[in-house]
Structure 1
């Protein structure tokens, strides 16, 4: 146990009265050297009471530092009974401002677990410091410039628990995230948007009825644009996969041919331009040997053309041709899909006016999944959402 006074003022208004040295840490007892100062700036001579607060500070050499700070409550004539102002210690904080700034600087370079071990703070304490930093640094968007939106969902936890993310279609800034994918879950976003809802021109989404209805209710001037990626993915699951399985079942007598069809899923779903020579040959073999697969594959390619029309009238004419060919094909999974797709026709032809898609947002979702996997999940969803918004601040206009 040492009694000493440090020659430089680490703690303004206080001086070490006693230092206890342990194996790998120091406990420093401070004593005040001046009259307490109120947050209003007045110097108060009357102390209501004093309590000892245990505070962590930056390490000195290899020793972790714990401070015992006598924090006084004042009887201020202007403010009433209030805790004194200490420049190097935020109100109610258990870490000095110096330590907090040091941790915030490390948070841009190291994972929380490593910082926790380095500065001898609990993981949750470091996380809370980071959460406050993000809340301070994440910028609110300029809502007056937001004209077009993209909306999508991603898996938040196992067990079909999802979150909805909404981004600016032009700057790709993540504007808002919330748990759930129902109308009630996304309604707070439009309530927050307020009068700016009137200026929204288009919203890109998948064929989610909840998203569609909420946009129609709050954004009367917005056109709903259904994303090509989601429609084609749905076509792959409900049409191509179904027809492929049916074709395989018809080939039970020919095990080799049946195996070829069953294993042909990915060459049927991939874009032709992404196939190598071997895969292209495999695809041609499948389509030549199976008429129904040939039909649904060609109809998929024609369906994509709807998103590249120059006008809504052109898109509607192309739809009528596609619809007629579907009805004449006699392939039931294809006909059923077309009947379900018909009620979403307005959102498909709208892509001729607003050529929006959620591909960039899908890329964001993939990065979000990587963040979640690297952290082995986030228990604090508010913190996770702040991390996402900080990673996607948007492109400058």
Structure 2
């Protein structure tokens, strides 16, 4: 039986001595094992020729309440092939000051805890822990198979306060995050299509997005055969902000001399914006009474419901007919906010009609964006965007086709 059972953790070495440095630290001095030939780290050949020996102090995983340090005699061998070369120590690769076991332990912890918490727990510098996790992410995040990418979903999320955004693109079929980049302009999203390359861009069939002109134009430039599909949620939400809210405020202003009625209209925002199926019985009754009493609000509410139907058409021909019917109703409504919105929406009609062929939307990506917010909040934000974007890719590796 080995007289030093702890030496089993450090291949090629035995324990020479150990001492308590302070109440929280333990120092273990190692020595080369007599029956272990050093190995050249360059060519993996064993040799007896030693060029010189230096002692390196490294950090090992904690033992009970102690932080463990090792004094390791690191030899340079005189290799006949490589010349003077550091010996290969499998549990202490390269010139690190942390053992492989310690690095593995840190990698496990950062999957569960913020970097700052891991650094405090282990008594390490924040940058040390971050560098280890960064290397892990680069090792584990795999490149997608570009040959199989056919449909994309693109959206943006807030990086910081102050209108700073990033754009994320995913494979619509596997839900793997393909690319994340800072900004939402044409110039910001162009590197994504350059990364895809002409061959992959040439096989893209459809790209789902909100009504973002920058993304739209860049898709048309790099993937001219791809259909742009505008997301239902974003268009209807835009209708709610620009039309329903405007009409509601105008109606409330017209009722300034009837304070009870004005109060009802002013407080009706969420009743008008929420889907009827999500309302409780009492709320549904209030909505019905409101719409019966106010014709302009009834008009915009009906137009909102009919606008949604454009995305559920069984064919492009039917979708185009539904659009024409909706446009006629909007232009004949007599409501300026509705007419103005309808005129602007004309430029995006092809992307709405395309949903009849490609049933794509950004709802999956919206859910991912919520998880991205959690990743950012848990870490109290990220100072390094490259590292943050790797975190996002690691969180969404995709699913098998």
Give the Å deviation of 1:302: 1.2
The CA distance in 1 between the partners of 2:283 and 2:4, in whole Å, is 78
The CA distance in 2 between the partners of 1:344 and 1:108, in whole Å, is 42
Q: Please identify, of 49-58 and 261-270, the stretch whose mean Cα deviation from structure 2 is larger.
A: 49-58
The CA distance in 2 between the partners of 1:297 and 1:93, in whole Å, is 65
**1:64 is matched with which residue: 67, 86, 108?**
67
The answer to whether the aligner puts 1:334 opposite 2:338 as a matched pair is: yes
Partner in structure 2 of residue 8 of structure 1: 7
**Contact 2:16 2:31 (C-alpha < 8 Å) held by counterparts:** yes
Partner in structure 1 of residue 127 of structure 2: 124
**1:208 is matched with which residue: 181, 188, 212?**
212
SS of structure 2 residue aligned to 1:153: strand
The two structures have a TM-score, normalised by structure 1, of 0.91
Partner in structure 2 of residue 41 of structure 1: 44
Distance 1:183 1:51, change over 3 A: farther
The CA distance in 1 between the partners of 2:384 and 2:77, in whole Å, is 36
Give the Å deviation of 1:80: 5.5
**1:359 is matched with which residue: 360, 363, 386?**
363
Partner in structure 2 of residue 248 of structure 1: 252
The CA distance in 2 between the partners of 1:8 and 1:323, in whole Å, is 80
Q: Can you list the C-alpha shifts for 1:253-304, whole angstroms capped at 9, x where unaligned?
A: 1122111111111110001111111111221222222221111111111111
SS of structure 2 residue aligned to 1:87: coil
SS of structure 2 residue aligned to 1:139: coil
**Contact 2:115 2:379 (C-alpha < 8 Å) held by counterparts:** no
Give the Å deviation of 1:251: 1.2
Give the Å deviation of 1:77: 5.3
Give the Å deviation of 1:7: 6.8
Give the Å deviation of 1:216: 1.0
SS of structure 2 residue aligned to 1:280: helix
The answer to whether the aligner puts 1:175 opposite 2:174 as a matched pair is: no
Distance 1:32 1:169, change over 3 A: same
The CA distance in 2 between the partners of 1:280 and 1:293, in whole Å, is 15
Partner in structure 2 of residue 100 of structure 1: 103
SS of structure 2 residue aligned to 1:335: helix
**Contact 1:183 1:214 (C-alpha < 8 Å) held by counterparts:** yes
The two structures have a TM-score, normalised by structure 2, of 0.90
User: What are the within-5 Å matches in structure 2 for residues 364-379 of structure 1?
Assistant: 364-379=368-383
The CA distance in 1 between the partners of 2:277 and 2:64, in whole Å, is 61
The CA distance in 1 between the partners of 2:114 and 2:347, in whole Å, is 48
The CA distance in 1 between the partners of 2:167 and 2:381, in whole Å, is 17
User: What are the within-5 Å matches in structure 2 for residues 180-329 of structure 1?
Assistant: 180-194=183-197, 195-329=199-333
The answer to whether the aligner puts 1:347 opposite 2:351 as a matched pair is: yes
Aligned length: 394
Q: Can you list the C-alpha shifts for 1:315-348, whole angstroms capped at 9, x where unaligned?
A: 2222122112211111111111111111111111
The CA distance in 2 between the partners of 1:7 and 1:189, in whole Å, is 51
Q: Provide the alpha-carbon RMSD of the alignment.
A: 2.4
**Contact 1:224 1:350 (C-alpha < 8 Å) held by counterparts:** yes
**Contact 2:313 2:356 (C-alpha < 8 Å) held by counterparts:** yes
The CA distance in 2 between the partners of 1:297 and 1:370, in whole Å, is 34
**Contact 1:56 1:96 (C-alpha < 8 Å) held by counterparts:** yes
The CA distance in 2 between the partners of 1:235 and 1:47, in whole Å, is 78
**Contact 1:174 1:394 (C-alpha < 8 Å) held by counterparts:** yes
Q: Can you list the C-alpha shifts for 1:97-143, whole angstroms capped at 9, x where unaligned?
A: 11122333344445545543443333433333233222222232222
The CA distance in 2 between the partners of 1:7 and 1:167, in whole Å, is 48
**Contact 2:154 2:362 (C-alpha < 8 Å) held by counterparts:** yes
